[in-house]
Amino acid sequence: MFMRLCLVLLFFILISYPLASHAQKESVAIRVDSLLNLSNQVRHHDVITAIASIELAQTLALEHHLYMHACRGYNQLGSLYLNIGFYTKSLEKFHKALALSREKSWMDLEAQALTNIGNVYYFEDSLRHALKYYEQSLSLSIRSHNKKLEARNLGNIGMVHSYLTNYTEAKQYLSHSLSLSRELKLMEGTCLNLLNLAGLYHLQNQQDSARYYYNNALELAEKLGFAQGKIYVQMGLAKVYGKLNNNSEANKLLKDALSLSKQETANNATKEILTQLGELEARNGNFKQALVYQREYSKLSDSLSTLAQHTEQQNYYSLLEAERNINENRLLKANVAARELELQASMANHQKQLALTFAAVFAVIMLICIMAFLLYHYRQSKKNHDSLQHMHAAIQAQAKELEEAYEKIRQHNIQLEGSIEERTRQLNQQNRQLIQYAFFNAHKVRGPLARILGLVNLLPKAAHQTEFQFILDRLNESANELDKVVHEINLILESKPVSQDNYN
C-alpha cells in the first residue's frame, strides 16, 4: 500500500510540473498578444512605438517557443514596414514568417506570408514576381479551405492582370473575388474588389463603368469607416475625372484623400497622391503649385529616409548601450555570484520544504481517502454478510421442508407399491376366473345349447305325438343341463367377486 501511495504521489508531481510550465507559457502568450494589439492601436500615429512593441513581442515569443505568435509578429511587423514604404525590411520580415510557417507546416500562415510578399513586389512594380506569390498563396488557401484569404488572393491576381493588360483574366478573377467576398460577407474585401473592378474599367477607358464602381466602393467605404479603402477610391475617382477633363472635381478628391492619408500615416498612398496632384496642377498650367507638391513629396521621402536612419541609429545606440551594460555586468558578477548561490540554495531549500509539505498533505489526503474507502468496504462487507446469513437460514428452512416433503412422498410411494401388488394379485385371480369361465362357455354351455337349438328345429317336423313328446323330453333335459352349467358358472364367479372399487 505504501509503495502504491508513493507511485501516486510521484505521478501527481510529474503532472504538476508540465501544468505549471503550461501556465507560464499561457501568461507569456497573453502578454505577447497585448503587445501586438498595442502595436495595431498606435501604428497610425506612433510608428516607432508600434515597431518597438512588435519587436518586444517577437523576443518574448521566441524565448518561450511561442512560434505561432512569432510568425504573426513577423507578418505584422512586415505590414507595418510596408505601410511606411520600407520595402527591404518588410520583405525580410515576411520571408522570416514564410520560413517559420513552412517549418511548422502552418498552411494558413504560409499563405498569408506569400500574399504579403506579393504585396511588397506589387508596390515595387515587380508585377510578375507579385503574380507568382499571389498564385502560390491562392493554391495554399484553397487547399486549407481559407475562403477569406482565397477571395483576397483572387482580387490581388485580378489587379495584377489588369496592370499587365490581361483584361479578360483580370475581370474573371476580380468578379470571382467579388462574388466570394459578398458570399462571405467580407465588406472590406467587397469594397476593394469594387475598387479594383473600377480601376480595370478605367484602364480599358470605360469611364462611366469605372465611375459607377468607384461610387459604389466609396459609399461602402464610408459606411464601413474604411479609411484606407476610401483613400484609394478617391484616388481612382480623381483619375476618372481627370480623363473626363473635370480637373476641379479631381483636385478636390485628391486633396480629401491626401488629408485622410496623412491622418492614417499611409505613406505609400500619400506619395502617390502627391504625384497625382503635381501632375494635375502641371496639366492645368499651375506649375508653382505642382512644385509645392513635388517638394512635399521629396520632404516625405526624406523623412522616411530619416526615419529609417533614425531606426538604424537607435539600433546602433542600443548595441552600444548593451555593450556598456555587459562591461558593467562583468564587474558586478563577482559580487552577485555569491548572492546568487545563496539565493539558489535558499530557493532549493524552500522548494524542498514546499515539496515535502505538499507530499505530506497529499499523503494525509490519500490516507483519509483510503480509510474512508476501507470503512465503506467494511460496511458493505458486513451488510453482505448479514444478507448471506439471512439467505442461509432461509435455505436451511427450505431444505427442511424439502426433506419432510420427500419423506411424505416416500411413504406415499410405499403405499402405492402395496396397492399395486394387491391390484396385480386381484387381476391375476380375475384372469384365472375369466379363463375358467371361457372354458365352461366353450365346453359345457355350448353342448346343451347346441342340442336345444337342434331340437327346436326338429319340432315342426314331428309327425306323431310320440316324436313330439320325445323331442320335448330331450329339450327339457338339455335345458336342465344348461341351467346346471349356468349355476356352476355363477358359483365360480361368486366365489371371488371382482368389484368396481378394486379398479379405483
Provide the mean pLDDT of the chain.
79
**Unique residue bearing C-alpha cell 504521489:** 9
Contact call for residues 113 and 132 (beta carbons, < 8 A): no
Q: 166's torsion region: left (phi>0), alpha (psi -120 to 50) or beta?
A: beta
| CA dist., res. 81 & res. 78, Å (int) | 5
Percent of the chain with pLDDT over 70: 82
- Residue that is written with C-alpha cell 501511495 in the block: 5
Mean pLDDT of 274-278: 82
pLDDT of residue 315: 47
The lowest-confidence range among 278-287, 390-399, 435-444 is 435-444
Pairwise pLDDT comparison (447 vs 105), residue with the higher score: 105
Handedness of CA 415, 417, 420, 424 (dihedral sign): negative
Between residues 142 and 439, the one the model is more confident about = 142
CB 5 within 8 A of CB 42: no
CA distance 327 to 316: 17
Q: Give backbone dihedrals phi and psi of 106, rounded to 5 degrees, phi first.
A: -100, 100
320-330 pLDDT, tens digit each: 454 454 445 44
What gap in Å lies between CA 52 and CA 67, rounded to an integer? 19
How many other C-beta atoms can be found within 10 angstroms of the C-beta atom of residue 80?
22
Mean pLDDT for 338-344 is 60
Higher-pLDDT residue of 131, 275: 131
- Which residues have C-beta within 8 Å of that of residue 261, sequence separation ≥ 6? 231, 269, 270, 273
Mean pLDDT value of segment 119-136: 91
What is the mean pLDDT of the segment spanning 23-31?
80
Does 290 have pLDDT greater than 80?
Answer: no
Q: Which residue has 474573371 as its cell numbers?
A: 172
Q: What is the DSSP letter of 442?
A: I
Q: What is the pLDDT of residues 146-203, one digit of tens each?
A: 898 999 899 999 889 988 888 899 889 989 988 998 898 888 888 888 888 888 888 8
Query: Would you tell me how many other CB atoms lie within 10 Å of the CB of residue 130?
Result: 24
What pLDDT is recorded for position 111? 92
What are the chain's domains? 19-145 (1.25.40.10), 226-322 (1.25.40.10), 419-503 (1.10.287)
Taking only the tens place, the pLDDT of each residue in 239-251 is 888 888 888 888 8
Q: Using the predicted structure, report yes or no on whether residue 451 has a pLDDT greater than 60.
A: yes
Percent of the chain with pLDDT over 90: 10
- pLDDT for residue 14: 52
What is the arithmetic mean of pLDDT over 457-462? 78
- Mean pLDDT of the 427-451 span: 76
The residues, ordered by sequence, that sit 6+ positions from 212 with a Cβ below 8 Å of its Cβ are 198
Residue type at position 67 = Y
pLDDT at 265 over 70: no
| Res. 17: pLDDT tops 50 | no
Per-residue confidence (pLDDT) for residue 444, from 0 to 100: 73
Of 74, 50, 120, 87, give the one whose Cα is nearest residue 265. Answer: 50
Nearest of 271, 340, 332 to residue 302 by alpha carbon: 271
Instruction: Give the highest mean pLDDT range of 98-107, 289-298, 342-351, 444-453.
Output: 98-107
pLDDT value, residue 120:
92
pLDDT at 327: 46
Does residue 139 register a pLDDT over 90? yes
For residue 73 the three cell numbers come to: 509578429
Average pLDDT over residues 216-233: 86
At residue 405, does pLDDT exceed 50? yes
Predicted local confidence at residue 322, as pLDDT? 43
Residue 94 pLDDT class (50, 70, 90 cuts): very high
